[in-house]
Each structure stands twice: as C-alpha cells, then as structure tokens.
Amino acid sequence: MNIFTDNEAFRAIVESSIDAVVIINREGDIVFWNSAAELMFGYSETDVLGKYVHDILPTHDQREKADESFKKFQEVGTGPLVGKILQVKGLKKNGDIIDVQLSFNTVDIHGELFAYGFLRDISDMVARQENLEEQASIDGLTHTLNRRAFLEQSEKAFSFAKRHDSTLSVLMLDLDFFKEINDSFGHDAGDVALELFANKISSMLREEDLFGRIGGEEFCIVLPNSTVENSAIVAEKIRKEIEVQTISTAEKTLKISVSIGLSSLEEADSSIIEMQKRADSALYEAKRTGRNKVVVG
C-alpha cells in the first residue's frame, strides 16, 4: 500500500495544486507524483514511481548534489536542500531542459521519513530575465557589447589572466573617416558602415573573445589567451577583411577601412584600463601615420 497514492483525501488536495508535487522516501525513490508534475516533466506517475529522483536532473553536478543531500537525509533525517528555495534545471521526458523553482521539506509519517517538494516551471520567467539582461548589455545598432557591459566583462577577463598568469591582448579599433561618411552621405550610410564593420569582425572572433562598442565609431576587442604576436595576426586579418568591404549609397559606392592599436598584458598592469590606454595610444599613432594599419603599443 502506498500511503500517498492510495489516500483519496490527500490525493484530492495535492492534485488541486498548480505546482508539481513530488514525494520521495529516505532512499531517494519517488513515491508520489501529481498531475502537475506529469504535465511539467512529461512522465506519468507509472513512469516514475519507485525511480530515483536524480533521473529527472539533467547535469552531473546536480545529480551529485542530490546524492549528497539524500545521503545526509538517510543519516540524520535532514539535508542541505531542506527548507530552502532553489533554482535548478529539470529534465523532461522528451529531453528538453527546463528551469525549475524548487522547495523541499521533510515529514515524519508513522515513524517513516519522507521528503516532499513543490516544483514550478519558471523557464519563461528566466528567458524573459535573460532577454532583458541581454538587451541591457547589447548595443542596439551593432549587436556588440555596449560600453558598460564590455568594461565589466573585460575587467573580469583581465583579473582571470592576472590570476592564472595567462596572456591577454587588447585591440582598439576606429572606423576610418567615419565623420566624413556621416557628413557627406548621412547618418543612414554611417549606420550601414557600422553594422557591416561589426558583423564582419564578429564573425572572425572566437567565442571567448570580447567585442564591444566603446562609443561612436570606436570599438574594442579583448583576446584572452592570445600573445601579442598572435593578436597582431588577428588584427591584420581584421584590417584586410574590412578594407575590401564597400557600402552603397544613392550617390556612390564607398570603401571603408579600419585603424587598429594593439597592447598586451604586462606584469605592472593593475587594470584593463591601462591596457586600453596603451592600445588607444597605438591607435592614435595608426591614424596619425596614414590610417588603415595596425600599430603595436
């Protein structure tokens, strides 16, 4: 006899919950699974009764934590998850991973301990929050990181490089003659040039590289785990790719180019700002001496 599934009054109350309700015995096996849980995960009650609860956790890390928690639960009747509200990942029957808000507690029934959890699918809320965070960190025109987000993330990259004694390089980039494009052909042409410029460069970078719009036509790239020699090669590839790009206006077809200043991490550097200043000085030298070139600072 299952004291949960066979108790009609209990079942009627729990089945009215909009939250998934899962009850687990001291061994971590599922002994109750309401209709909301079935709807959330896609598993029927028959599918899961008697199964170990970590089968619905998608990551190895979460399964290890569940194992630790239930080991503690077996020993002393409580555990690190008891009484807390957590955000975890859940694994649906079809393989989809969802964001779940979870609260667990324990109950003693006739001398037998059980853990019961209330679970709620918060995937939509998490997606909206992530979208808002992305909108707050992305430049609307070029879809690169905006200045604030770029500086925050680049400072983290700097701290990581210093802590692990790894290489790091900074590129400062400026779209040549951008003011003349705006003044002669209008801001729409300038916007097209910036979008083209940013899209081409984004496609050339690694996933771990940071690319941000600092202001106007000025951009910055942070290259983790990249020596000054390798970064100079990257910069030159970018320069060559940009110099063959064109934009069309009603009056004519325009070629664009980029000037780039490069700096690499030095032992005396205490912040990413110092690296950016050296790269900015190198960028100034590139523009002063003819533009469309890479200068190492």
Query: Last residue of some domain: 126, 161, 176?
Result: 126
Q: Given the DSSP bridges, would you call strands 258-264 and 294-296 parallel, antiparallel or unpaired? A: parallel
Distance of CA 280 to the CA centre of its chain: 28
Domain that holds residue 164: 137-296
**Domains contained in the chain, number:** 2
**Are 116 and 166 members of one domain?**
no
Segment 88-114 shows an average pLDDT of 86
**Are 177 and 100 members of one domain?**
no
**Are 146 and 272 members of one domain?**
yes
**Are 257 and 172 members of one domain?**
yes
Q: Given the DSSP bridges, would you call strands 30-33 and 20-25 parallel, antiparallel or unpaired? A: antiparallel
In a domain, 233, yes or no: yes
**Are 284 and 145 members of one domain?**
yes
Query: How many whole angstroms separate alpha carbon 93 and alpha carbon 176?
Result: 54
Q: Is there a contact between 101 and 18 (Cβ–Cβ < 8 Å)?
A: no
pLDDT tens column, 195-233? 999 999 999 999 999 999 999 999 999 999 999 999 999
**Are 111 and 143 members of one domain?**
no
Query: Last residue of some domain: 61, 91, 126?
Result: 126
Query: How many whole angstroms separate alpha carbon 279 and alpha carbon 264?
Result: 8
pLDDT class for 1, splitting at 50, 70, 90?
A: low
| Residue 198 structure tokens | 């940013």
Which CATH number belongs to the domain containing residue 276 in this structure?
A: 3.30.70.270
The pLDDT value recorded for residue 80 is: 61
pLDDT, mean over the chain: 88
**Are 122 and 156 members of one domain?**
no
Catalytic residues: 217
The pLDDT value recorded for residue 21 is: 92
The pLDDT value recorded for residue 145 is: 95
Comparing 184 with 157, the larger pLDDT belongs to 157
In a domain, 280, yes or no: yes
- For the chain, report the end-to-end CA distance as a whole number of angstroms: 77
pLDDT tens column, 252-277? 888 899 999 999 999 999 999 999 99
Which CATH number belongs to the domain containing residue 20 in this structure?
A: 3.30.450.20
Query: How many whole angstroms separate alpha carbon 96 and alpha carbon 74?
Result: 30
